[in-house]
Amino acid sequence: MAKAIERSTTIIICMSEQYRKSNYCRAEAQYAFQCQRRIVPIVLQKQYKPDGWLLFLIGQLLYVDFTKYEFPQAMKMLFKELNATHIVDGNTGDIQFKQDTVVTSLVLRMSPSNLYLPPILPEKISDWTQIHVQEWLTQHNLIHLSRLLVDCNGSSLLYFDDLI
């Protein structure tokens, strides 16, 4: 799955309570975030509202609610979102899909060695990566700051501390 994420430019996250509870799904979604892949969330469970790590991950992203629209309409909305102009490495570009593109669902069997473990934060804040900062914000219920600090590492936080 890591190779699939690395080879992708966009990841579709199919949100539901079971998805949020799955450690495997969490690990894959966080890896996509770490690899700075574009994430397009869709809702597949009626009246589902993301929370916890999933809310942190999707933040203010637009999503398509497949439970509120007929399937053909929801698919049109999804393709519109996938084809939307976005910023890639500072350049504006469009995602192009062939008409015969098929989106499939994958079921993975993972061994215990592949289980997600939360990153251990380095003792020195100056050694923190962007992922460490985001994980710390999540652990301390500061999800609302995640978008603001998405590009910050430990050194950036120390710089802000000096300014304040």
Whether residue 89 sits in one domain with residue 76: yes
Whether residue 151 sits in one domain with residue 106: no
Question: How does pLDDT run across 53-108, given as a tens digit for each residue?
Answer: 998 888 878 788 899 888 888 888 888 888 775 444 444 444 444 444 444 433 33
Whether residue 81 sits in one domain with residue 18: yes
Number of folded domains in the chain?
Answer: 2
Cα of first residue to Cα of last residue in the chain, in angstroms, is 42
Which of 28, 32, 10, 7 lies closest to 19 in space, CA to CA? 28
Are the C-beta atoms of 148 and 119 separated by less than 8 Å? no
Is the predicted pLDDT of residue 19 greater than 90, yes or no? yes
Torsions phi, psi of 101, nearest 5?
-65, 130
Handedness of CA 58, 51, 103, 6 (dihedral sign): positive
Is the predicted pLDDT of residue 1 greater than 90, yes or no? no
